[in-house]
Homo-oligomer: A and B are copies of this chain.
Amino acid sequence: MITIKEVARHAGVSMSTVSYVLSGKRSISEETKRRVEQSIVALGYHPNAGARALASSRSHVLGLIVPLRSDHNMPVIMQFVSSIVASARDYDYDVLLLTKEAGPGEAHRVTARSMADAIIVMDVESADPRVPELREVDAPVVLLGVPDDHQGLNCVDLDFATAGRQMAAHLADLGHRSIALIGSPPAVYERGTSYAARLLAGFQHETGQRNLPASVHSCAADYESVSACLDDVLHSDRGTTGLVVHNEAVLGPLLLELRRRSLEVPADLSVITLCPDDVAQNLAVPLTSIAIPAEELGAIAVEMVTARLEREQAPEVRLLQPRLTNRGSTSAR
């Protein structure tokens, strides 16, 4: 193993000089810097992470708690993970993979051992049992999602309430007089997934304000449930002409079933949804949608956590404003 000592000898300088060339924490003459860098390449030197961590008390590792067996949407979760890992590398951090399933205490374990400098937590629920312990962690923590009690914690999320409001408003502005929301299966609401509840609240707030009749439906992803749900939504008494869908898994079967019933989108039914852009884009009928900006949310989480590693900062909740893309699946009535 090549050590910094050998690099120093090869370049004819002291160890500390090599260290400063690497870290840039003190000024080094161009000439010396060049020589050192050449030696590093010539010898194939790679700094030892353990030694570095020990001496600097910084592991340059971020702990990421991921729901690996969750029922919901793996692809979206992957988008988050992917963006977090990429952003972390931009800041010169690596990512330690922790699972939600491994239970609480993981955040504490890795920070107490100085395996990670900070923690990012995915898939946060309204009444997330991990919250109290996360609050005790002696390192920066950022949650992706907003628990009910987020006192003293950093959170990043899409503004789902506004998203719900916007989607309802979008349909209302187009003249729809009766609209429906298809959400997640009951289990998701029972579990207290905060985003589902927040979107619902925004939706109902807007329809309430406008005095619009609005029905809300919980729906599972299988074909039968979708069909049954659609029967309910389209029940003639309602006169529903606009549909908000907040359930990615339902989209495919839904469009299929609409076609089977010879209902055109948007001629017979306007549909707007909230899902990742690439999903909305690639459906049988591309749908007007509000994006789940996984990429940005992940990047922001990393940025927050690294910022707090640099300097103390008060906890903060950051809600990303929704972005609506029109793909022609809604029309005036």
- Which A residues fall within an 8 A CB radius of B? 46-54, 59, 61, 64, 68-69, 74-75, 77-78, 81-82, 85-86, 89, 94-97, 99, 101-102, 109-110, 112-115, 222-223, 252, 256, 284
Instruction: For A61, list chain B residues within 8 Å (CB).
Output: 96, 115
Identical copies in the complex: 2
Assess the A97–B99 pair: CB atoms within 8 A: no
A94–B99 Cα distance when bound, in Å, is 11
Q: Of the candidates B46, B95, B99, B114, which one forms a contact with A48 in the assembled complex, judged by CB atoms under 8 Å apart?
A: B114
A51–B113 Cα distance when bound, in Å, is 10
A74–B53 Cα distance when bound, in Å, is 34
Q: Of the candidates B46, B54, B85, which one forms a contact with A112 in the assembled complex, judged by CB atoms under 8 Å apart?
A: B46
Instruction: For A85, list chain B residues within 8 Å (CB).
Output: 68, 97, 99, 102
Q: Of the candidates B74, B96, B102, B284, which one forms a contact with A97 in the assembled complex, judged by CB atoms under 8 Å apart?
A: B96
Instruction: For A115, list chain B residues within 8 Å (CB).
Output: 49, 61, 94
A222–B282 Cα distance when bound, in Å, is 10
Assess the B64–A82 pair: CB atoms within 8 A: no
Instruction: For A81, list chain B residues within 8 Å (CB).
Output: 68, 97
